[in-house]
Amino acid sequence: MTAPTKSRPVDRARLPVIRGVSRSSPPSRGSSGTPWLYLAPALVVLGGLLAYPIYQLGLISLFHYTQAQVSGGEPTTFEGFGNYAELFADEQFWQVLLATVLFAAACVVCTLAVGCALAVLLTRVRAVPRLALMLAALGAWATPAITGSTVWLFLFDADFGPVNRVLGLGDHSWTYGRFSAFFLVLLEVVWCSFPFVMVTVYAGIRAVPSEVLEAAALDGASQWRIWRSVLAPMLRPILVVVTIQSVIWDFKVFTQIYVMTGGGGIAGQNLVLNVYAYQQAFASSQYSLGAAIGVVMLLILLGVTLVYLRLLRRQGEEL
Amino acid sequence: MKLSARLVAVAAVLATAACAPQTSGTSSSDKDEKTGTLRVWLFQEVNNKPKEQAVDSVLAAFEKAHEDTEVTVEYIPVETRAQRIKAAFNDPESAPDLIEYGNTDTAGYVKDGGLADVTEEFAAWDEAKDTDPTARQSVTVDGKVYGAPYFVGVRALYYRTDVFDELGLDVPRTQAELISTAKEIRAAKPGMYGIAVGGAYTYGAMPFIWAHGGELATGKAGSYASAIDSADAREGIEAYTSLFGDDNCPAAKCAGMGGNDTVTAFASGKAAMAIGGDFSHAAVDAGKVKGAYAVVPLPGVEPGSIAPAFAGGNNLGVLKSTSHRTLAVDLMKRLASKKAQGELFDGMGFLPTFSDVRQQVAAKEPFVKPFVETLAADTKFVPASPAWAQIDSSLVLPTMFQEIVSGKKDVATASQDAAKKMNEAFGSAG
């Protein structure tokens, strides 16, 4: 969205909104309340569905709020930042946070790599293999996380799993070691989240004019070079969306860890923030501590997203 | 930028106007209606029909005794019971009058303000004097009674008679023998666990700690202190964790196992022994080993002694918010009566909470004999503190066992760390 030209009627329809926000519209544009009137329905819905729950989350995190308070057994007391202090003083919280960040980063990188590679592959193969790949990916996408996790766990089962049999590993246990357990979960996470990336990027590639690609090919560019210098820049808005989506999704992973490592692995070695929050807070009804963890996660994700957008902006790109 | 300033102002106004988060208003109800509809929540068991029949016969007698009274029973799934019961505490309007609940939840529910104090009625109930002490302890918090024990569950040692005969082994009479027998079996049959144990099987591990004189915690309600790092408890931890290893149950597989996993391993013939409950009977019989196993009480440290077992089970309790208190208490007594518990045993095999009734059913059904013997010897219960739910759900004890068997920490360090976490929980939740 660059500076609008005033001549075309199509642009005029959305002008007031843009102007209203940027506060630079000439006074002739009618009252300043009009754009807010148009925005009101969306704002009400967003406010109701997003702002209010977040406000409640933040509020609860400042109180001592357990089941006893909810059901009226004990009075609610204001704690200030007590829950946060308790959380930050917990050594395990920092370990889990670090593990979560690294694990999510690995998942995002792998998901994007696999998704983009297969999207490019989709454009290069004939109709039948393309359909087969598409169906396989959609199947993985449509599989509920619990089912997917259970199936992957079975594939790698120490006694009955086909993977051990094929690789001749005897009764090697994949979930015992910290890294091997994380690796197993990573495979499942990538498996169930690459289709979204693949389908989105594939749609993006399809929208790239074929002349551009043809020109690059005629100039003798390799597949990799075409991706790096032509496709990736043109697909940037799409890649931004799938990256942010993957970051958020992988940071919040719960089911896979909970199911595949039996609630956090041997001695909690595979805990991620969401499972940790569940164990520490929600399973024992310490809602205020859980809310504090929720707020911390929200801030981290918000921070990551903002930094990412900022970096892109600095490179001179607009979303 | 004016816009965001305005938003901030709005947010600030909202924040200052904010009161505390929502709390459900009520504590106890003043009404005590003598007619109307009584709502009851019981747990949905795997094979629920016999339970329904046992309950229905009690209800028929109850409705006959109280005119214009109706009872509706809802069988709630065990997996989601915690949410359902919490929701009932939050919304007294749609809450039931009488519920079944797991006996380790008693202290937590009392702290939540959900259960009614029925100390007087329990004391006046003539059958209550035969309730066994541990069952009574499981409904008692701070000297007050919050329900009636419904049934107990207890664990004992399952072993494969065919394997023991083949290898010419005797049934172990002490824990030391148990450990050496398990290793002997593993050495003779490398594909089999001597005894299936699990790093996440807290209630299978506790008898080892109790048998060595250790305790989970000492003190009383409100002032518990963890004792898991005492010298006696450490000996028990040492004994239990010595069963993890290539010479019995490899840590790579067994560290992550819970109670059900060990019973499954035994039922599928992968283990020569396992610690299972009276409630595991059906699961084991459904497996390969049907007819080729027997059960004895888990041995203690001295020859011929029985290790103290964890007395699990369920209780019945009247909700504080009920508007039919007298009726609900009467129904609770009828459902938990000797006769009704006997019928429940006939249908479901759940062990009665009355010592005398238990002796009678043991005479009828030889399978339950080792379990009844275990209950008669000594049973223990988890600390009657709301902190227990927190300790349990944050996996303090499984983490301790897993740290030891995976070689991350030694017994002393791991038990000290666990004690620290337990004390923090006792400190914050009382």
Query: Is A68's CB within 8 Å of B111's CB?
Result: yes
Indicate if B155-310+386-429 has the same CATH topology as B36-153+311-380: yes
Distance CA A134, CA B17 (A): 53
Q: Is the CA virtual torsion B1, B7, B11, B14 positive or negative?
A: positive
Residue of A21, A266, A280, A288 to mutate for B, most B C-beta atoms under 10 A: A266
Residues of A with CB under 8 A from a CB of B: 21, 23, 55-56, 59-60, 63, 65-74, 76, 78, 158-159, 171-173, 175-176, 261-268, 279-280, 283-286
Query: Mind listing the pLDDT tens digit for each residue in B214-234?
Result: 999 998 766 899 999 999 999
How far off is chain B from A277, nearest CA to CA, in Å?
10
CB B422 within 8 A of CB B215: no
Q: What percent of chain B has pLDDT over 70?
A: 92
At A144, is the secondary structure helix, strand, or coil? Answer: coil
Query: Mind listing the pLDDT tens digit for each residue in A181-218?
Result: 999 999 999 999 999 999 999 999 999 898 988 899 89
How far off is chain B from A258, nearest CA to CA, in Å?
13
H-assigned helices in B212-354: 231-241, 251-254, 259-267, 281-285, 325-335, 338-348
Average pLDDT on B317-341 reads 93
CB within 8 Å of B339: residues ≥ 6 apart: none
Q: If we measure between CA atoms, which residue out of B388, B357, B375, B395 comes closest to residue B130?
A: B357
Per-residue pLDDT band for B82 (boundaries 50, 70, 90) equals confident
How far off is chain B from A72, nearest CA to CA, in Å?
5
How far off is chain A from B242, nearest CA to CA, in Å?
17
Query: Is A71's CB within 8 Å of B199's CB?
Result: no
* Half-sphere exposure at residue B263, Cβ-oriented, CA atoms within 13 angstroms: 21
Q: How many other β-carbons are positioned within 10 Å of the β-carbon of residue B281?
A: 16
Tokens of A77: 């007391």
Q: Is the CA virtual torsion A123, A125, A130, A133 positive or negative?
A: negative
How far off is chain B from A188, nearest CA to CA, in Å?
20
Query: Mind listing the pLDDT tens digit for each residue in A10-63?
Result: 444 444 444 444 444 455 555 678 888 999 999 999 888 988 999 998 998 998
Nearest to A158 among B22, B90, B253 (CB): B253
Query: Is A67's CB within 8 Å of B89's CB?
Result: yes
pLDDT of amino acid A124: 87
Domain B36-153+311-380 has CATH 3.30.565.10: no
Q: Tell me the count of A-B CB pairs closer than 8 A.
A: 107
Residue of A87, A96, A260, A284 to mutate for B, most B C-beta atoms under 10 A: A284
Q: If we measure between CA atoms, which residue out of B292, B288, B265 comes closest to residue B276?
A: B265
How far off is chain A from B358, nearest CA to CA, in Å?
34
pLDDT of amino acid B245: 93
CATH number assigned to the domain with residue range A90-314, chosen from the 4 options 1.20.59.10, 1.10.3720.10, 3.40.980.10, 3.40.50.800: 1.10.3720.10
Query: Is A268's CB within 8 Å of B3's CB?
Result: no
Window 88-147 of B, Cβ < 8 Å to A: 89-90, 108, 111-114
Q: Where are the domains of chain B?
A: 36-153+311-380, 155-310+386-429
Distance CA A106, CA A188 (A): 13
Angle between the N-to-C axes of helices A145-155 and A178-207, in degrees from 0 to 180, rounded to the nearest 10? 130
Instruction: Quote the radius of gyration of chain A (alpha carbons, Å).
Output: 25
Nearest to B256 among A73, A266, A283 (CB): A266
Residue of B257, B394, B403 to mutate for A, most A C-beta atoms under 10 A: B394
- For B258, the closest chain A residue by CA position comes to A262
* B155-310+386-429, CATH topology level: D-Maltodextrin-Binding Protein; domain 2 (3.40.190)
Query: Is A69's CB within 8 Å of B23's CB?
Result: yes
pLDDT of amino acid A267: 86
- For B388, the closest chain A residue by CA position comes to A284
- For A56, the closest chain B residue by CA position comes to B21
Per-residue pLDDT band for A110 (boundaries 50, 70, 90) equals very high
Distance CA B121, CA A66 (A): 30
CB B114 within 8 A of CB B85: yes
Query: Is B89's CB within 8 Å of A285's CB?
Result: no
Window 166-205 of B, Cβ < 8 Å to A: 199-200
Q: Residue B323: is its pLDDT beyond 60?
A: yes
CB A217 within 8 A of CB A159: no
Query: Mind listing the pLDDT tens digit for each residue in B7-34?
Result: 544 444 444 444 567 676 545 667 788 8
Distance CA A318, CA A308 (A): 12
